[in-house]
Structure 1
């Protein structure tokens, strides 16, 4: 089997021909179709966006389900990211790892992909911190990227507090919406 690794330019040309509404990501040169967003996933993204904006909106841009340029071969669309503020709101160019304070992935139907493909790419790109939200409501915090992995993993249960490492305070009380259905 011969595999062809797509570049960012080839992927963007492909996107122009993709059916309307297709949700595609370029991860290490391979194209992945993202699952449709269900009510539980949407609810959690909305909850997190509101909390992150309330707590850190004066020091960071809350970037929701938009592309992040990791490399010439990777353009993921994390569920959320906190970015360094820019006056143009990244109109001139897509944000890159050096612009990124935090990435959040809601891993209801994509846990395997998030852990095995995206997390290593985020580490390789130098993203300082990644939060993975499990279907159970548990929040996994990954910090200190080294090569293709993160050196530290912290588990945050509902009712506990956490803050993005690069923003420190105030703390976010992790209290995701109750009764969240899968995907």
Structure 2
């Protein structure tokens, strides 16, 4: 397994739609949440999923993510993904609360592991990589997620602390594994 930076994220759009659909299937349609969709496609409807998710993914790949990384297995297939968003100025990031929308914030986004590779340490490898990369950039690592997702408790186990509720989301900050969390 190797983590690769994707230099041209849009070039991976088709492969990523298929990858994300596998995650969607494995979570019974819980993730990605597709919160903007009134009638979510069933977890076995790839065409329905692609129709609603592909334009959203295209936007994120082209305009929102500052860096995208994929974890590839030995056959070259995507086993996991993580994106970093840290140049917040001028971006339409309505889902980022004002309190943390500043030059020090680095967001960990699009963090997923293919169901085939869950519970094998690959998620930890990707998350640790993302945290270290944000540190290199002088950023504080944050995650904005939904409290009902499995990911929420995962982040808490990985030294993230809740700093606030924001709309339907919860904002978590990496606290370095032992330092006091406090407010953002």
What TM-score do the two structures reach when normalised by structure 2? 0.36
Higher share of residues assigned helix = 2
